[in-house]
Chains A and B, each alone.
Chain A
Amino acid sequence: MLSPLILISAVLNGLMTGAVYALVALGLTLIYGVLHIINFAHGALLSAALFAAFLAFQKLGLDPYLAAFVLAPAFFAFGYALQRFVIGPASHGDDRNMLLVTLGLAVLIENALLYAFRADTRTVDLAYGFKSIDFGFTFLAVPRLISFAAVFFVALALWLIMVLTDTGKAIRAVAKEKLGAELAGIDVAHIYAMTFGLGTACVAIAACLLIPTYYANPRAGNAFVLVAFTVVVLGGMGSVPGALIGGLVIGVVESLASFYFGESLGQVGIFLIFIAVLMVRPRGLFGASA
């Protein structure tokens, strides 16, 4: 019924969307792998970053791809402060408390955005926003191609940080064995905050990549992040390759499902996959057993 060309186009588009899912999921899985908490504030942080990217364009005339270089460090600092001064002290080390605190943050941030910006969506109009490149068999949008490439650069940068820098090694140590790392003199509270900062920075970069083709509104981040949760659970909590591969897979699945069944049911499909994975194989494809 469908020509293979249209199918290929859907798959390629799915891969490009999937790359951004992967980036958002990367932040989430990094935080889980080290702090062992599911950051329920991730979606609200994405919404905040989308607004930040929007404002950078509107008020400062800053192209989103350039804004990423400003927003990433800014959001890194924000994430660091959140973990160090709000989440860490409030949770008293209890899993259940951390759940509630990140939920509280999500509610606070999302509604602060609602209060400040109302519920209307804001979009960014770039000169090359609608440009696409003709590959012969299909057209692919320029911004989405840039996103795809950018995600792999970010993943590479993260990998280099983890492997080459002292902080990265400390992060890996804490992820593996917190008590041992502490006894070896690592400041765990600081490392937790650094990790949370990195995860938030990923979100900020993802927002900058998204804003040319997506929109900013207080609930925008949530829609994205529920998909990111699915990616993380599918790929395995705490697994970086899992987040990347899972993101691409989910992107393609969503693209094909929306194609065949329409957008709403496509979304429901993602959730059903999510629920099914949680029930049948909670550790996902690459995660460690619970």
Chain B
Amino acid sequence: MRGFLPIVIAVAVLAVVPAVVHSNVVLNFLVVALMIALAGQGWNILGGYGGQYSFGHAAFFGTGAYVTAILQVHYGVNAWIGFAAGIFAGAAVGAIIGGLAFRAGLRSSYFALVTLAFAEVLRIVASVAPITGAGVGLLVKLDLRAQSFQFQSRALFYYVILALVAIALVIAQLLERSRFGVWLIAVRENEDAAMALGVNAFAVKLAAMALSAAVTAAAGCFYVQYFLFIDSGIAYGTWISIEALLTPIIGGAGTVFGALVGALVVKSLGEGAKLVTGDVPGLDLMIYGAVLIAVIRFAPRGLVGAFADLHGRLARRFMAPQPPVREALRG
């Protein structure tokens, strides 16, 4: 239970915000930031803990979004059921892409390339297929009732996305302490050595990919409920592949809070830039690119990692005495 205390505190602090802040602009900003944090936590499971860098996570965001949108718009299915279906569909697509890629033994750059290609294929197909609304996209009918997963008050949307993020944080925490998580991290560090120790690397990577896809798909479903519109550029565009990757890398890949920290920081930078120079397209992503390079250069373990390093250094300076020389010389 002790391990979950930081999550409880973080969620509690965030939960208080709508009671204190009444500006719709700020709430909207936070809702979007939390949605990106959710998508990023999905990426984090596969990329941060698993070490498999996907450059096409849009494939899962978009699948979640389209499945729930199509079910609601074309088949009149309830929005909450659509939500569940979207998550499941995202996981299925993750399993398919992962199964194909990992079966073929694709690693590192090749894996990144193939995920990029799959996302692009989906985007092009969605941009011409009638069921996804082709070039026009899909509009979900306005129906401001809780049973349609739409709310009059922005604060309610905020609480829903906060709850989803909280679940994602708990998933990461459980992962770290579980045997599956230990195996996943081992595969990341050295796949052959892990296999020699009995880890079924293929099965572990595949499960991680399905879980990762499910979490990111949830973010896609939420997008549809919040904005009530989806098209191929939004669903499967490179913007979400990049943001889902960027936030955990900047915040700290392979940590519980990395994606959340990264999303809040990155989105704040973007908004800050817009305040200074006006709403010019491209500026926020430009900054994201520059920040990504800077983080890799100066703080490769991300903000959470850098903070942990600093904490460790200060602790060593002020707490433990220097170890005896003999100890240091022994292997």
Contact = CB atoms under 8 A, between A and B. Distances in A.
Q: Which of A38, A96, A105, A229 is most buried by chain B, counting CB atoms within 10 A of its CB?
A: A96
Contacts, number: 122
B300 interface: yes
A111 B285 contact: yes
A115 interface: yes
Instruction: Give the contact-size bracket for chain A.
Output: 35 or more
Interface residues of B, number: 41
A176 interface: no
B23 interface: no
Given A92-B300, A100-B292, A115-B283, A264 B53 contact: no
**Chain A at the B interface: mostly helix, strand, loop or mixed?**
helix
Interface in A105-150: 105-115, 118-119
A278 B104 contact: yes
Interface string A260-290: 0000110110011011001110100000000
Interface string B263-295: 000000000000000001111111011101100
A212 to B, nearest CB: 26
B160 interface: no
A104 interface: yes
A91 interface: yes
B296 A90 contact: yes
Given A90-B297, A107-B242, A111-B285, A38 B109 contact: yes
A115 B286 CA distance: 8
Interface string A71-115: 000000000000000100111100111011101111111111111
Given A101-B293, A104-B290, A111-B286, A226 B120 contact: yes
Interface of B: 51, 53, 55, 100-101, 103-104, 106, 108-110, 112-114, 116-118, 120-121, 124-125, 127-128, 242, 245, 249, 280-286, 288-290, 292-293, 296-297, 300
Interface of A: 37-38, 40, 86, 89-92, 95-97, 99-101, 103-115, 118-119, 218, 226, 229, 233, 264-265, 267-268, 271-272, 274-275, 278-280, 282
